[in-house]
Structure formats: structure tokens, C-alpha cells
């Protein structure tokens, strides 16, 4: 997923060697073996495919599910991938991109119905530990040791340690940046057209002059597009503050990533939350935010792709603007509004799990291993077919085919951060050739959360978590979008959360965190 230098790696690995427990996991015998040390980024990029498997009598189908826009040419990409997989693993693949707005409902239905599936995207911000507690995913320690040797070799140990639940891995993190910042992506043509000064934009409040300009001078453009992202949150300010959610963003209880205090707080009761809620309310009333911000499930960059959006929030890293340009089809610039931080949630921010309903988990792990080690297969899944969906400018640089745009190539999922090993990815012509080195430098700047390595065990309060999740879905999106008055709604929101047992959840989080920190000092 992400890389760190050797000094940082040693420190980080030590800090996160202990992972808190999470009960209710899928029943399976697993290995507790600690992953072997990671290789360098250069070695990762140069990694080759795993040895060819002995063919069996039957070619097995492996299904892959991830959140993203369905691609017109996915069938032709599957055909090419299947030719490759037939020789490598005697397998075929079915790629299923589910619209971000439908992803949570689809995944919940799959889990509840026991639908057969193999590889499924998961993340700390998408109910990872909650779904582990439901038994939705298989423990992967034994499978990693048996069929994931390239993953263990190339992936920084921080990811595998930091994403464990009860000492076991239930997801394989994407190999990309480890640190994280939050901020906004802006249309560069409008920034340049109106000579916007970005040098003094350091906080969410500093965005107001930019939004005001677009509102007044570009009536056909939404200054700030916000969407309901499920789990009681949105793509606005409230879900982009510097909180460590202690393993799963869907469970109440936070601490500051950048401070020293380890007291677990109810975010709604903090000055930071209330201030941010009032600010986004001001922006909404001024007409800077789309009217359907609390209800639309259209992913912001998909809306931006149509050319009707000036700004949207995103998780940022070096070159995120250039990386996203390849998807939306026009120039962007980024503004980081938080400092780089490293938390357990960052280590588990994008992963591939194996469903408990998989009929051939060994083969599924082999496919994930290829996504982490085989440059040909990785780039085929991420970028499509050479000559049809992209053209090579060199062994590492690609461009759109002549006469094609990012919107009409037929295959441009923009999901590299979800699928495998980014250090194997081609770079678009607009991207910095030193991107991967900048990732390492970025990681070195990351401020470590005081709770790094801690993952909350929700089993003791699972009923309270379910009740609070329903309430969060009722009130959270509207507050995050600014469509309601926070002075009126936050007290009601809090009252219902307390009746549902939020204080019990936070007390349990505090108890477990204190035990984790005490054990780490020994």
C-alpha cells in the first residue's frame, strides 16, 4: 500500500506490534506468524509474477467486487485478463464495480444473504471491523503464508500489523502511501481564470473567497459538491477532521491524531465538530453547496467528470491532483488542509478481503498476490488493454489513445488505490515521474497517532453500535451537508445517541485503549 523509509519502518513496526482484539470473527484456524520484513519500493516495482500453478482439470472463476463506476469495456478487459490467468493460475476473473452510492447496501445484502463471492474491497471507513465481527471475511494468515508470499515480501509490515483484528488479518492492504492528509481538489482552469490566491488557504474557513467567486461568476458550476457516503457521513468537512476513530470510522469515539491526549471523546460534543458544522451550514445557506448534498450518492469525482463541479473533498497525498486528472479528464490542483498523519485507520484504509462464502479462497489469495506482484496483470485490471484504452510512451509512462478522452476510452476505473500494489502502476504523462519517492518522503513526515496499532473490539457493545448507526444515518448526512441548523439538530442527535448507548460504547473504547497503551509500555 504505502512505503516508509528504513528508520521509520523500524519505529513504526515496533509501535504497532500489538493489535487490539475484535471478537465474533469467522470460524477458521489461522496462523499468527508475523510477516517478513518488506523490501524496498524499487524491489516492489521490479517484482515479477509468481511461478505458474499446476493446472487443474477445471478452470475456476474468481469474482472481484469493489466500489467504483462500471466500465463499458469491462468484458473485453476480463477476456484479456482471463487469457493471462488461464496460463498463470488456470483461473478466470469476473470484475464487478459497484457504484459508490450503492456499495454499502450491496455489501450488506451480500453478507446478510450469504451470496457467494471471492475478493471484496473493504476499509476502516467502510465498516471493516464491524463486518469482521459478523464473520463476513475469512482470516487470512494461513492463506498469506501459503499463497501470498509476494504480498508479505513487498508490503510494508506496518500495513499487515496495523490492519489486524484480534491478531489476525482479514484484509490485504493496498500497497500505497501510509500517511494521510485531508483536503480539497479544485478545477485548475477556474483557479487560473479568476487568479485565485491559494497561498493563504490553510483551513476550511479560508475556502470561502474561492467558493464565493465561483458562485458569482460561474452559475452553471457547483462550487462545492458534497455527497452522502453512507455510515452517517458525507464528503463534507465533518468527516475530514483530524480524528482517529480507533480502527473503524463507523463506531463512535475518537481521539486527536495529532495530540497527546488519549481520552476518548464523543466527536459531537467537541468544539471542533460544532465549529465545522456551523461553517458548512454557512456555506450551504450561501449557495456554495449542492442542494441535494444530504441525499445524493453520486461520488464527487464522478459528478466532477461531467464538468459541473469546482471543488470536492478527498484523501490527499503527493500527486493526488495529477492522479485524479487521468480520471476526470481535466487539470486539477490540490489543497492539503490537514497535516500528514498515520493511524490504524490509515493502515487499513483500502484492502481486499476474501469472503467467507468463497468456494476457492486459496485461488482468491493467488489472484490478490498477482495484483501485488505481477505488473502485467495489475496494470491490465487498473488501466485496461494497451492500444485500446491507453498507449505506452515508455515502460512506465502511458497516455490516452489518439482522439480519446478520459471520459470515452471505455475503461478508466481510477481505482488504483483499491486494487493491489500502486508501486507497479503505470504513470500518466501528467504525473510526476518521482511520484513513488515523494510517497516515501510524505510517509516520513507523518505524525503518528498515540493510538497507532489499536483496533476496537466491538463485540461487548455490538447492539449499541447498531442502534447508534441507525441514528447516525438519520442525522449525520444532513449535518455534514449543512442542510440543517446545527444548533437545533446536534442536541437532538446527541440525545438519541445517548438513549441508544453511545456513552457505553465510548467507555468500552476507553477501557480497551487504556489496556492497549498499558501493554505497549511493558
pLDDT at 36: 37
In whole angstroms, what is the distance from residue 186 CA to residue 190 CA?
A: 8
In whole angstroms, what is the distance from residue 120 CA to residue 173 CA?
A: 12
pLDDT at 286: 97
Grid cell listed for 14: 515496533
Q: Which of 320, 318, 38, 241 is nearest to 159 (CA)?
A: 38
Mean pLDDT across 42-48: 40
3-state secondary structure 307-372: CCEEEEEEEECCCHHHHHHHHHCCCEEEEECCCCEECHHHHCCCEEEEECCCCCHHHHHHHHHHHH
Residue in this structure with the C-alpha cell 490527499, named with its chain if needed: 316
pLDDT at 164: 83
Residue in this structure with the C-alpha cell 512506465, named with its chain if needed: 396
In whole angstroms, what is the distance from residue 419 CA to residue 144 CA?
A: 17
pLDDT at 26: 38
b (16+ CB within 10 A) / e for 275-297: ebbebbbebbeeebbbeebbebb
Mean pLDDT across 156-177: 87
- Give the angle 150-151-154 at the CA atoms, nearest 5°: 80
Mean pLDDT across 199-226: 96
Mean pLDDT across 34-63: 52
Q: Residue 58 — pLDDT band, cuts 50, 70, 90?
A: confident
Range with the poorest average pLDDT among 228-232, 380-384, 435-439: 228-232
Grid cell listed for 15: 509501535
Q: Residue 4 — pLDDT band, cuts 50, 70, 90?
A: very low
Mean pLDDT across 499-511: 97
In whole angstroms, what is the distance from residue 141 CA to residue 143 CA?
A: 5
Check: CB of residue 241 under 8 Å from CB of residue 272: yes
In whole angstroms, what is the distance from residue 143 CA to residue 361 CA?
A: 8
The Cα diameter of the chain in Å comes to: 66
Q: Is the pLDDT of residue 153 over 80?
A: yes
Range with the poorest average pLDDT among 36-45, 114-123, 183-192, 287-296: 36-45
Q: At what angle do helices 375-383 and 74-89 cross, to 10 degrees?
A: 160
In whole angstroms, what is the distance from residue 378 CA to residue 420 CA?
A: 7
Strands 119-122 and 60-67: parallel
b (16+ CB within 10 A) / e for 261-270: ebebbbbbee
As a whole number of Å, the CA-based R_g of the chain is 22
pLDDT at 437: 86
Extract long-range pairs of 488-497: CB within 8 Å, 24+ residues apart.
490/268, 490/273, 490/274, 490/277, 493/268, 494/266, 494/268, 494/269, 496/471, 497/252, 497/266, 497/268, 497/468, 497/471, 497/472
Check: CB of residue 147 under 8 Å from CB of residue 366: yes
DSSP character at residue 137: B
Residue in this structure with the C-alpha cell 489499536, named with its chain if needed: 454
In whole angstroms, what is the distance from residue 222 CA to residue 307 CA?
A: 10
Instruction: Report which secondary-structure segment, H or E, holds 283.
Output: helix 271-285
Q: Is the pLDDT of residue 46 over 60?
A: no
Q: Residue 230 — pLDDT band, cuts 50, 70, 90?
A: low
Give the number of C-alpha atoms closer than 13 A to the C-alpha of residue 359, restricted to the C-beta side: 7
Mean pLDDT across 29-41: 36
pLDDT at 12: 36
457-495: per-residue pLDDT in tens?
Answer: 888 898 999 999 999 999 999 999 999 999 999 999 999
Mean pLDDT across 81-106: 93
Q: Which of 200, 205, 195 is nearest to 282 (CA)?
A: 205
pLDDT at 242: 86
Q: At what angle do helices 486-500 and 271-285 cross, to 10 degrees?
A: 140
DSSP character at residue 463: H
pLDDT at 436: 85
List of domains in the chain: 6-177+348-406 (3.40.190.10), 180-341+456-522 (3.40.190.10)
User: What's the chain's length in residues?
Assistant: 522
Mean pLDDT across 66-74: 94
pLDDT at 21: 32
In whole angstroms, what is the distance from residue 279 CA to residue 37 CA?
A: 45
Q: Residue 37 — pLDDT band, cuts 50, 70, 90?
A: very low
pLDDT at 184: 96
Mean pLDDT across 238-250: 84
* Mean residue pLDDT across the chain: 86
190 CB neighbour count, 10 Å cutoff: 18
In whole angstroms, what is the distance from residue 364 CA to residue 356 CA?
A: 12
Check: CB of residue 245 under 8 Å from CB of residue 486: no
Dihedral sign of CA atoms 391, 393, 399, 401 in order:
negative
**pLDDT above 70 as % of the chain:** 88
Range with the poorest average pLDDT among 28-32, 56-60, 335-339, 518-522: 28-32
Residue-by-residue DSSP string for 147-210:
H-HHHHHHS-HHHHHHT-BTTB--SEE-BS-SSBEEEEEEEHHHHHHTT---TT--SGGGGHHH
Q: Is the pLDDT of residue 338 over 80?
A: yes
Residue 224 or 25, more confident: 224
Check: CB of residue 295 under 8 Å from CB of residue 169: no
Mean pLDDT across 196-208: 95
Amino acid at each position: 500500500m504505502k512505503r516508509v523509509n528504513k528508520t521509520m519502518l523500524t519505529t513504526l513496526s515496533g509501535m504497532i506490534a500489538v493489535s487490539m482484539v475484535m471478537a465474533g470473527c469467522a470460524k477458521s484456524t489461522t496462523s499468527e506468524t508475523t510477516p517478513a520484513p518488506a523490501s524496498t519500493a524499487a524491489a516492489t516495482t521490479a517484482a515479477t509474477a509468481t511461478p505458474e500453478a499446476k493446472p487443474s482439470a477445471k478452470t475456476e472463476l474468481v469474482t472481484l467486487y469493489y466500489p467504483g463506476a462500471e466500465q463499458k469495456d469491462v468484458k473485453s478487459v476480463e477476456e484479456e485478463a482471463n487469457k493471462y490467468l488461464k496460463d498463470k493460475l488456470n483461473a478466470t476473473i469476473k470484475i464487478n464495480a459497484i457504484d459508490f452510492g450503492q456499495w454499502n447496501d450491496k455489501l450488506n445484502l451480500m453478507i446478510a444473504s450469504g451470496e457467494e463471492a471471492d475478493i471484496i474491497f473493504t476499509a476502516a471507513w467502510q465498516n471493516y471491523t464491524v463486518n469482521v465481527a459478523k464473520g463476513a471475511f475469512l482470516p487470512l494468515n494461513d492463506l498469506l503464508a501459503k499463497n501470498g508470499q509476494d504480498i508479505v515480501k513487498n508490503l510494508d509490515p506496518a500495513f499487515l500489523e496495523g490492519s489486524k483484528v484480534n491478531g489476525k488479518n482479514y484484509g490485504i492492504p493496498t500497497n500505497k502511501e501510509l500517511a494521510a492528509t485531508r483536503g480539497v481538489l479544485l478545477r485548475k482552469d477556474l483557479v487560473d481564470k479568476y487568479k485565485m490566491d491559494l497561498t493563504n488557504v490553510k483551513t476550511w474557513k479560508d475556502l470561502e473567497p474561492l467558493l464565493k467567486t465561483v458562485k458569482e461568476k460561474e452559475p452553471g458550476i457547483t462550487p462545492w459538491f458534497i455527497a452522502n457516503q453512507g455510515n452517517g457521513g458525507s464528503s463534507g468537512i465533518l468527516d475530514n477532521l483530524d480524528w482517529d476513530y480507533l480502527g473503524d470510522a463507523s463506531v463512535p469515539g475518537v481521539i486527536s491524531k495529532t495530540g497527546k491526549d488519549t481520552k476518548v471523546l464523543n466527536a459531537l460534543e467537541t468544539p471542533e465538530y460544532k465549529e465545522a458544522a456551523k461553517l458548512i451550514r454557512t456555506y450551504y445557506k450561501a449557495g456554495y453547496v449542492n442542494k441535494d448534498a444530504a441525499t445524493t450518492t453520486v461520488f464527487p469525482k464522478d459528478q466532477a467528470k461531467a464538468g459541473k463541479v469546482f471543488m470536492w473533498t478527498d484523501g490527499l497525498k503527493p500527486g493526488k491532483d495529477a492522479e485524479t486528472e487521468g480520471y476526470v479528464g481535466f487539470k486539477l490542483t490540490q489543497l492539503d488542509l490537514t497535516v500528514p498523519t498515520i493511524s490504524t485507520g490509515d493502515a487499513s484504509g483500502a484492502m481486499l478481503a476474501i469472503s467467507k462464502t468463497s468456494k476457492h479462497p486459496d485461488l482468491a489469495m493467488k489472484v490478490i498476490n498477482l495484483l501485488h506482484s505481477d505488473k502485467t496483470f495489475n496494470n491490465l485490471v487498473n488501466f485496461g488493454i494497451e492500444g485500446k484504452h491507453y498507449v505506452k510512451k515508455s515502460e512506465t509512462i502511458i497516455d490516452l489513445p489518439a482522439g480519446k478522452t478520459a471520459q470515452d476510452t471505455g475503461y478508466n476505473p481510477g481505482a488504483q488505490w483499491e486494487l493491489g500494489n500502486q508501486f507497479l502502476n503505470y504513470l500518466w504523462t501528467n504525473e510526476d515521474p518521482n511520484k513513488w519517492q515523494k510517497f516515501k518522503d510524505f510517509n516520513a513526515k507523518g505524525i503518528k497517532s498515540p493510538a497507532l496499532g489499536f483496533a476496537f473490539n466491538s463485540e461487548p457493545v455490538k447492539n449499541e453500535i447498531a442502534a447508534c448507526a441507525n441514528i447516525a444515518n438519520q442525522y449525520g448526512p444532513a449535518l455534514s451537508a449543512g442542510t440543517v441548523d446545527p444548533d437545533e439538530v446536534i442536541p437532538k442527535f446527541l440525545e438519541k445517541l445517548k438513549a441508544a448507548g453511545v456513552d457505553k460504547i465510548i467507555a468500552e473504547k476507553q477501557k480497551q485503549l487504556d489496556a492497549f497503551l498499558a501493554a505497549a509500555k511493558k
